[in-house]
Amino acid sequence: MKHTNVAIFVPHVGCTHRCSFCNQVKISGTAHSVTANTVRTAIEKAIGSKGYNQKDAEIAFFGGSF
């Protein structure tokens, strides 16, 4: 079966600068903080999509800064 990855993008909100190499808002396309409702909606959308594989699914949080 195909691996399912539910991706949640968390932009770095701790820094007020928007450097070209770490502008997480621009990179992730997400300007708002992630909430429990955001995660729930992403999971529900994934479950309802074609090819969703519950057995090999995982939630992955991306974003932040190095």
Give tens-digit pLDDT for 47-65. 888 777 778 888 888 766 5
What are the structure tokens assigned to 11, written together? Answer: 């932009």
Predicted model pTM: 0.60
pLDDT tens digit sequence for 14-43: 667 777 777 766 776 766 778 899 889 988
**pLDDT for position 37:** 92
- Cβ 12 vs Cβ 32: under 8 Å: no
Burial of 23 (0-12, 13-18, 19+ CB in 10 A): middle
The DSSP bridge partners found for residue 61 are: 8
* pLDDT of res. 64: 61
